[in-house]
Amino acid sequence: MRLRHFVMVASMLLTTPIFAQSDDLPEDYLTPAFHASRRDSLRQLMPANSVAVVWAYPVRNFSNDVDYVYHQNPDLYYFTGYKEPHSLLLVFKEPQTAADGSTYKEMLFVQKRNAQAEQWTGKRMGVEGAKQKLGLTQVYNGEDFKNTTIDFSKFEKIILDRLPTDLADARYDNADLYDLIKQLKEKAQITDNYAQDKRFGTAEFRQYTGQLREIKTEEELTLLRKAVEISCQGQAEVMKAVRPDMSEREVQGLHEFVHKKYGAEYVGYPSIVGAGNNGCVLHYTENEKLHVANKMLLMDVGAEYHGYTADVTRTVPTTGKFTAEQKAIYELVYEAQEAAFKLCKEGTTWQELDKVSRNIIAEGLIKLGIISKKEEANKYYPHGLGHHIGLDVHDRSASSKLKKNMVITIEPGIYIPENSPCDKKWWAIAVRIEDDVLIKEKDYELLSWAAPRKISDIEKLVAEKSPLDNFILPKLKAAKKGF
What is the spatial distance between Cα 388 and Cα 394, in angstroms, rounded to a whole number? Answer: 6
C-beta separation of 133 from 25 below 8 A: no
Q: Which domains does the chain have, with CATH numbers?
A: 3-213 (3.40.350.10), 218-462 (3.90.230.10)
What is the spatial distance between Cα 310 and Cα 451, in angstroms, rounded to a whole number? Answer: 13
Which residue type is seen at 154?
K
Backbone angles phi, psi at 325, to 5 degrees: -70, -45
List Cβ neighbours of 321 (8 Å cut-off, separation of 6 or more): 459
Confidence (pLDDT) at 18 = 38
pLDDT tens for 262-318 read: 999 999 999 999 999 999 999 999 999 999 999 999 999 999 999 999 999 999 999
- Give the chain's count of helices (H) and strands (E): 12, 18
pTM for the model stands at 0.93
Largest CA distance in the chain: 79
Which residue type is seen at 470?
N
| pLDDT value at 3 more than 90 | no
> Cα dist. 236→45, 316, 321, 346, 350 in Å?
43, 11, 16, 30, 29
Per the prediction, the chain carries an average pLDDT of: 93
C-beta separation of 310 from 227 below 8 A: yes
Q: Which of 281, 235, 229, 285 lies closest to 255 in space, CA to CA?
A: 235
What is the spatial distance between Cα 144 and Cα 127, in angstroms, rounded to a whole number? Answer: 11
| pLDDT value at 483 more than 50 | yes
Going by pLDDT thresholds of 50, 70 and 90, the confidence category of residue 1 is: very low
What angle is formed at CA 162 by the lines to CA 159 and CA 167, rounded to 5 degrees? 125
307: left (phi over 0), alpha (psi -120 to 50) or beta: left
pLDDT tens for 50-106 read: 999 999 999 999 999 899 999 999 999 999 999 999 999 999 999 999 888 899 999
Backbone angles phi, psi at 253, to 5 degrees: -60, -35
| pLDDT value at 23 more than 90 | no
pLDDT tens for 240-259 read: 999 999 999 999 999 999 99
Q: Which of 51, 127, 148 lies closest to 95 in space, CA to CA?
A: 51
Average pLDDT over residues 224-242: 98
What is the spatial distance between Cα 139 and Cα 94, in angstroms, rounded to a whole number? Answer: 18
Confidence (pLDDT) at 468 = 86
3-class DSSP string for 186-214? HHHCCCCCHHHCCCECHHHHHHHHHHHHC
Q: What percent of the chain has pLDDT over 70?
A: 94
- Of 48-52, 238-242, 315-319, 474-478, the one with minimum mean pLDDT is 474-478
Going by pLDDT thresholds of 50, 70 and 90, the confidence category of residue 402 is: very high
Confidence (pLDDT) at 147 = 94
Secondary structure (3-state) at 75: helix
Average pLDDT over residues 120-137: 96
> Cα dist. 202→54, 80, 148, 207, 452 in Å?
11, 20, 24, 9, 42
pLDDT tens for 153-187 read: 999 999 999 999 889 888 778 899 999 999 999 99
C-beta separation of 398 from 207 below 8 A: yes
Confidence (pLDDT) at 174 = 87
Confidence (pLDDT) at 477 = 86
What is the spatial distance between Cα 11 and Cα 5, in angstroms, rounded to a whole number? Answer: 10
Going by pLDDT thresholds of 50, 70 and 90, the confidence category of residue 482 is: low
